Structure 1
């Protein structure tokens, strides 16, 4: 219900005049962590942006980079054009940094093993970029917090468990604890170190507390989460334990509980331990926890607590439901912890009390108004990049930033990023598409315009949901566009299987022609075929590609399908097959009336990675195609719309010489993809063209797993 209000408010904001627009956050820039490497360094190495802090003037961001064993610095004097300031080696694994004046205090894990943990707090002079002091912590540090008065630093010494030992079960000694370090004249007093013992408190493994996250309130009280112990401790300003309590459990309804290639939000989970990760005070008496889970729990949401342990608000699955409606649900985590809320940050912007909740697996950040802690209101969902781990608020500059730890460069995916957002009057640029109901959607791979209403689009999702191929109805004309219906394909009365939908075309009679990309891999065994379905998704006809043609196929099959004025169907094959000359892909033609197949060849551009076709649509006397490389972020070079004239195009029978078409480039899509100020998405996969020449284009979010989950739907006017 909360999201429904927010969803409607987004539409209302889009319709409002600028004078009446409310302040909102929009992403204004992104920074890839490899950019902080010095000239000549190997940029292919894994890197990361984990927990992050800002300097007191809000002009520099400092993030921990565990793979490089360094902290990275970013100049955000111009937040729309962040600049690299390089990395500072930490001689160990940095965890969390806090900044006081011109000094950064960095928790550094120097452990030789889980059984022999060690760590230090390093003081780094930011002007000279030198380590100027060390303070031995006596164990492996995780979270570090600086008191609002700047007179105390607290460190959670987790001494984390080895998940490979006894299935990660507790206890695993040595036990963790909290360290409090007085700060005098801007420097840490190591000799004044106080160790706060946390053993004997939790009901779960009381002899082995594993403190995860710490945060100070204005009075100097400290709240500590013991994630695996499912426990929370409040330490008073005097350093004594003032209270502690179990984090308890949550019953969840309306959740997907199985990793099975389907989006099914009808399941329930009972007595799920919260196992909180990040914690943040909202005021002196209330704090919030992000209930990620790390061992046996993870309640997929967040909780707002009174300091005495009373639950003031439990989000349950509401946060996850909000992400589901935006296509940000990671189906691959259904059997475990869903969207995994992990990061939290509380801040006040012009008196507005805001709680930011980061979803590690849903790759998005919820912005909640918590003026009334018992009744938080969801204001926005921000796209974050992959794996938001650290959140930073800079209210004095109306800025917010997220550190996204996941680096997929080794697999050709996105690198780790820092994202920057500005709060200003306006309307949210994201999402571009959302559903009002818990339909479950994502991985959109093809588009078609409704012949009866050009404001209505139909989309299909690909094999990310291999056992739930579906058609989605989209109502445009508002921001965000509204996904109003989901039609699951049916065969013999059951949901169809072994289908990888990559193209859709309306048949003009209330049904659809669909292109299914095959995969000859024996483990996949998906045939290359086209399907004709009625308006309810029931399969009426299946047409497999000719055997001689399929003999030369690869997994890069049909991408896009369109119905021509002569009643024939045109389809694009994504890449060269074994019988194609290098750099040429087939455009297939099929006549449903005669079952006749024919084809032409399309000249692919040259570039890095591979170049292929992702969609095909017909408008007027031309065939329009999306042609792209498979590269992402800064590596992306080619994402374009091209066209081929239908006049004079005479496809030839298969098995002989095929004519080579002449293409015309219509639009470079990379500037379009940059308008959301993240990194350039690789999979521009859907396009549909209305009678007036308006082309709708959509990206495939890859089902969120190992992808940002961002879906961009936008329209452009084609000149031709």
Structure 2
């Protein structure tokens, strides 16, 4: 369901928010100004904690149950968070007295699906959906004592509630009654009755004395006059509610004292250029070259930033979604629109969700505002790219991008607590996978600090057309022989694979060049002449060879490891697909020698008898040292007892194989342990990443080991020495522990860098952490 952020964010913000007016009508009262908003370039927001909702069930999240954190509010002192958990029909409570160490306080059943929440005094006010069906919508307002976490009163709402907000003076509670349509009925479009409305609760006195008033939102000049489907509500200091009607692409303003609709107007359309609209066949490339004309904004979240202006998050639904946000004046005129800037931001920081390119892109879901110090800020949550973008509102009608913050997957709710210098996001996505990497719904806590921003850790420069180099799904790392440059590769999530040049001397590191891997000489096609077909040897399927090369000679391989070649250019290790267990080997594990410009110059193959053992987990890392290539196989192949470390003599062109003993699986969630990258240390010594396939609280094995190949005969089992357990380094980011730490390299000055693969923002948050571990491998 489409949920809304707590109105507490707006009420706290509006007590101090002072944005210059931008074209409001003459009858709109002005807001008294305490002081002008002034930009502050010395303070930034940084994540200080992540609270997994499953911690309410068990400290290690052992229970594999669906949870969510959709909308979040705070007690008036800002010390307790209350969030909605719709899959469990409950609200949860979290103590954030120390925001860097949130503590679970338990949960309370709601007798239905909680959809939104706000706070008045000592009480949390929760909108609860109790509808038996789409055609018989029903709901209630549940009043909960925050201190005792007990229900003290309930009020019938007579429809399915979605968003709730409270006025700053506490006189009025506004509840959006959406009466959501059934997307599976007919063509799934409105109109589907009964239509929604806005319910006003006069909230002076004890909750038992509160009365309700309904405001009809039908018969306005909009797309579906009988079916408004209101989505989100925010209240300004003059007790005027602004309500978004997403499917109708419409906005309504209601005077809460009189219960009258005072204004309504279309949210309008946007035309966008230099965006990516293509994701098929999946996976694809991100190409910021396409255009979109007259796209309906279809706003979701909305927040007032003064009594004369409000901001909408233009998520989209039926026919729209403009991939950004809009600053509106109260008369319906547009003071500012984000245009394509949020799409470019996601491409620059590696958070483009390419599987959503043909739909609504990054999908801005929600907005909140607040004054921190002397600066007014706007916060925009991207549901599909899982970030919170922060904008400085000091200059009238010109929100200025300040920074971007990583979030757990799919942030829905946004809450500002300026009195404590805190911002909270509630991320609803959850996937309690058994054995595999789970996705954990969470609350993310950010603090306004006199410190530099810690995210992103990598951002790209612009191409010649002014658009950023789009990137994601980084795999291996390799350092240049001198200086601060490292090279990374994108994996098989994308077609047209590339090598990236990254300058680590700046923060964030600059992805400053992309090198497309190409096969102009047709070397991949010639593999069919030397590799047996699966029908006769279970090693390679010739029929899949054409799919590996595109018309422009770029290639669609699975680059997992990269090394700088001593003679110039690079070695790229490509992981094969399929395995003998299912008799479906589709591509072999291959090593490509490519030039400095990405042209494939040679291909190194495994012996046929080793190919015959292939599973789907093959090459992960590669290193060159002393005239040899050394490759790490991720997991054990058929008939072996350990994963292989392959050694290829570049002069003799012969293979030998050693075996690497893995740590045992120790995660309560099971899964597996395997190898990732490998980097040369000299004198036949190498460092390897050993990791489990677990994330968040399930992760237990994220380590760097050192191995020595000196004097080891073909077939020997290696010994290993622990260099560093990097779980503390991953936890130091204050987010969920990232599953795929897949890149490792050492600069000439001894600094060791680690990077994770964000899986192309597919079933993950997209967070990429490039971490300098210091001189741990000297």
Shorter-chain TM-score category? over 0.9
Residues 80-104 of structure 1, C-alpha deviation per residue, up to 9 Å, x if partnerless? Answer: 1100011000000001111111111
What is the rounded CA distance, in whole Å, between the counterparts of 1:708 and 1:38 in structure 2?
23
Corresponding residue for residue 472 of structure 2: 442
Q: Could you list the runs of 5+ residues in structure 2 that have no partner in the other structure?
A: 1-39, 463-467, 521-550
What is the rounded CA distance, in whole Å, between the counterparts of 2:346 and 2:597 in structure 1?
27
Residues 236-255 of structure 1, C-alpha deviation per residue, up to 9 Å, x if partnerless? Answer: 23211111111111111111
Q: 1:187 aligns with which of 202, 207, 210?
A: 207
Q: Does structure 2 retain, via aligned residues, the 8 Å contact 1:221–1:235?
A: yes
Is the aligned partner of 1:372 residue 2:395?
Answer: yes
Corresponding residue for residue 752 of structure 2: 695
What is the rounded CA distance, in whole Å, between the counterparts of 1:59 and 1:143 in structure 2?
23
User: Residue 676 of structure 1 aligns to a residue in which SS?
Assistant: coil
Compute the displacement of 1:691 (Å): 3.1
Q: 1:427 aligns with which of 439, 452, 457?
A: 452
Compute the displacement of 1:412 (Å): 3.1
Is the aligned partner of 1:216 residue 2:235?
Answer: yes
What is the rounded CA distance, in whole Å, between the counterparts of 2:54 and 2:60 in structure 1?
12
Is the aligned partner of 1:705 residue 2:733?
Answer: no
Is the aligned partner of 1:25 residue 2:45?
Answer: yes
Q: 1:285 aligns with which of 308, 311, 319?
A: 308
Q: For residues 495 and 298 of structure 1, do their structure 2 counterparts lie closer, same or farther at Cα, with a shift above 3 Å needed?
A: farther
Compute the displacement of 1:39 (Å): 8.9
What is the rounded CA distance, in whole Å, between the counterparts of 2:576 and 2:240 in structure 1?
60
Compute the displacement of 1:137 (Å): 0.8
Corresponding residue for residue 279 of structure 2: 259
Where do residues 102-501 of structure 1 align in structure 2 (5 Å cutoff)? 102-187=122-207, 189-190=209-210, 192-237=211-256, 238-260=258-280, 261-410=284-433, 412-437=437-462, 438-451=468-481, 453-465=482-494, 467-492=495-520, 494-501=552-559
Residue range with higher mean Cα deviation, 522-531 or 71-80? 522-531
Corresponding residue for residue 103 of structure 2: 83
User: Residue 322 of structure 1 aligns to a residue in which SS?
Assistant: helix
Residue range with higher mean Cα deviation, 45-54 or 533-542? 533-542
Corresponding residue for residue 505 of structure 1: 563
Compute the displacement of 1:188 (Å): 6.3
Q: Does structure 2 retain, via aligned residues, the 8 Å contact 1:182–1:188?
A: no
Number of matched pairs: 689
What is the rounded CA distance, in whole Å, between the counterparts of 1:194 and 1:124 in structure 2?
21
Corresponding residue for residue 695 of structure 2: 632
Q: 1:661 aligns with which of 705, 713, 718?
A: 718
User: Residue 490 of structure 1 aligns to a residue in which SS?
Assistant: coil
Where do residues 549-568 of structure 1 align in structure 2 (5 Å cutoff)? 549-565=610-626, 567-568=627-628
Is the aligned partner of 1:686 residue 2:711?
Answer: no
Q: For residues 219 and 495 of structure 1, do their structure 2 counterparts lie closer, same or farther at Cα, with a shift above 3 Å needed?
A: farther
What is the rounded CA distance, in whole Å, between the counterparts of 2:490 and 2:58 in structure 1?
41
What is the rounded CA distance, in whole Å, between the counterparts of 2:384 and 2:61 in structure 1?
30
Q: As a proportion of its length, which structure holds more strand?
A: 1
Q: For residues 627 and 159 of structure 1, do their structure 2 counterparts lie closer, same or farther at Cα, with a shift above 3 Å needed?
A: same
Corresponding residue for residue 15 of structure 2: none
Q: For residues 40 and 232 of structure 1, do their structure 2 counterparts lie closer, same or farther at Cα, with a shift above 3 Å needed?
A: same
What is the rounded CA distance, in whole Å, between the counterparts of 2:516 and 2:94 in structure 1?
47
What is the rounded CA distance, in whole Å, between the counterparts of 2:566 and 2:588 in structure 1?
26
What is the rounded CA distance, in whole Å, between the counterparts of 2:208 and 2:400 in structure 1?
39
Residue range with higher mean Cα deviation, 396-405 or 39-48? 39-48
Residue range with higher mean Cα deviation, 523-532 or 144-153? 523-532
User: Residue 228 of structure 1 aligns to a residue in which SS?
Assistant: helix
Q: Does structure 1 retain, via aligned residues, the 8 Å contact 2:143–2:154?
A: yes
Q: For residues 186 and 496 of structure 1, do their structure 2 counterparts lie closer, same or farther at Cα, with a shift above 3 Å needed?
A: farther
Q: For residues 141 and 42 of structure 1, do their structure 2 counterparts lie closer, same or farther at Cα, with a shift above 3 Å needed?
A: farther
Corresponding residue for residue 640 of structure 2: 580
What is the rounded CA distance, in whole Å, between the counterparts of 2:616 and 2:690 in structure 1?
17
Q: Could you list the runs of 5+ residues in structure 1 that have no partner in the other structure?
A: 1-19, 653-657
Compute the displacement of 1:41 (Å): 10
Corresponding residue for residue 532 of structure 2: none
Residues 486-530 of structure 1, C-alpha deviation per residue, up to 9 Å, x if partnerless? Answer: 112112372433401000011133311100011126888333111
What is the rounded CA distance, in whole Å, between the counterparts of 1:679 and 1:295 in structure 2?
33
What is the rounded CA distance, in whole Å, between the counterparts of 2:596 and 2:69 in structure 1?
47
Q: For residues 63 and 252 of structure 1, do their structure 2 counterparts lie closer, same or farther at Cα, with a shift above 3 Å needed?
A: same
Is the aligned partner of 1:613 residue 2:613?
Answer: no
Residues 419-438 of structure 1, C-alpha deviation per residue, up to 9 Å, x if partnerless? Answer: 11111101011111111221
TM-score (norm 1): 0.93
User: Residue 486 of structure 1 aligns to a residue in which SS?
Assistant: strand
Residues 583-640 of structure 1, C-alpha deviation per residue, up to 9 Å, x if partnerless? Answer: x110011223333121100111112321100001101221110001111111111111
Corresponding residue for residue 73 of structure 2: 53
Q: Does structure 2 retain, via aligned residues, the 8 Å contact 1:313–1:373?
A: no
Corresponding residue for residue 6 of structure 1: none
Where do residues 525-604 of structure 1 align in structure 2 (5 Å cutoff)? 525-565=586-626, 567-581=627-641, 584-604=642-662
Q: For residues 590 and 378 of structure 1, do their structure 2 counterparts lie closer, same or farther at Cα, with a shift above 3 Å needed?
A: same
Q: For residues 469 and 232 of structure 1, do their structure 2 counterparts lie closer, same or farther at Cα, with a shift above 3 Å needed?
A: same
Q: Does structure 1 retain, via aligned residues, the 8 Å contact 2:752–2:777?
A: no
Residue range with higher mean Cα deviation, 515-524 or 142-151? 515-524
What is the rounded CA distance, in whole Å, between the counterparts of 2:134 and 2:707 in structure 1?
62
Q: For residues 524 and 359 of structure 1, do their structure 2 counterparts lie closer, same or farther at Cα, with a shift above 3 Å needed?
A: farther
Compute the displacement of 1:579 (Å): 2.0
Q: Does structure 2 retain, via aligned residues, the 8 Å contact 1:21–1:427?
A: no
TM-score (norm 2): 0.86
What is the rounded CA distance, in whole Å, between the counterparts of 2:568 and 2:336 in structure 1?
47
Q: Does structure 2 retain, via aligned residues, the 8 Å contact 1:38–1:86?
A: no
What is the rounded CA distance, in whole Å, between the counterparts of 2:77 and 2:672 in structure 1?
45
Compute the displacement of 1:473 (Å): 0.4
What is the rounded CA distance, in whole Å, between the counterparts of 1:165 and 1:412 in structure 2?
35
Q: Does structure 2 retain, via aligned residues, the 8 Å contact 1:202–1:229?
A: no
Q: For residues 206 and 559 of structure 1, do their structure 2 counterparts lie closer, same or farther at Cα, with a shift above 3 Å needed?
A: same
Q: Does structure 1 retain, via aligned residues, the 8 Å contact 2:745–2:753?
A: yes
User: Residue 643 of structure 2 aligns to a residue in which SS?
Assistant: strand
User: Residue 587 of structure 1 aligns to a residue in which SS?
Assistant: strand
What is the rounded CA distance, in whole Å, between the counterparts of 2:756 and 2:725 in structure 1?
15
Compute the displacement of 1:166 (Å): 2.4
CA RMSD of superposed structures (Å): 1.7
What is the rounded CA distance, in whole Å, between the counterparts of 1:389 and 1:541 in structure 2?
49
Q: Does structure 1 retain, via aligned residues, the 8 Å contact 2:386–2:406?
A: yes
Residues 123-165 of structure 1, C-alpha deviation per residue, up to 9 Å, x if partnerless? Answer: 1122232212111111100000001111000011111111112
Compute the displacement of 1:414 (Å): 2.4
